[in-house]
Amino acid sequence: MLSGNIKSAIGLGLILNQGIGDTIRVSLTGDPVEEIKSAKLILRTLGLRKGGIEVVSCPTCGRTSIDLIGLANAVENMVQDIPLDIKVAVMGCVVNGPGEAKEADIGIAGGKGEGLLIKKVRL
């Protein structure tokens, strides 16, 4: 539930960001699995939890020609239990997607009938 997530993020985030508390419980109306996902994301966003793949995606625009929301959700579900501390970017086009994904460790950019997988090389 969107409003529950936002209220939890702001309420718990403000407290945790001040160093208050060492446990977190998110209560949402719905699947309890979503509560855990929200809690993990709040902690990771605050830099209080390491590990786990962070999935980011572009906001979409007129160039988007794939089901980016479906793809981003699928990628997020696929990687949720992988304990790597990396960022994966899911982008909606092969024109600007690779450039916009340059801060990520792995980028996925999709277009009509084509797709790119980009791996950042660490020097």
Does 107 bind ligand SF4 (CB under 6 A)? Our answer is no
Give the DSSP letter string of 71-84: HHHHHHHHHTT---
Q: How far is CA 68 from CA 30, 58, 78, 123, in A?
A: 24, 8, 15, 30
Going by the DSSP 8-state scheme, the letter that residue 66 receives in this structure is S
Does 97 bind ligand SF4 (CB under 6 A)? Our answer is yes
Task: Report, in Å, the least distance between residue 85 CB and ligand SF4.
Answer: 24
Does 71 bind ligand SF4 (CB under 6 A)? Our answer is no
Does 63 bind ligand SF4 (CB under 6 A)? Our answer is yes
Find the binder of ligand SF4 among 34, 46, 60, 71 (CB under 6 A).
Answer: 60
Cβ neighbours around 35 below 10 Å, total:
19
What are residue 117's phi and psi, to 5 degrees?
-115, 120
Find the binder of ligand SF4 among 26, 88, 100, 118 (CB under 6 A).
Answer: 100
- Binding residues for ligand SF4, per CB under 6 A? 58-61, 63-64, 91-93, 96-97, 100
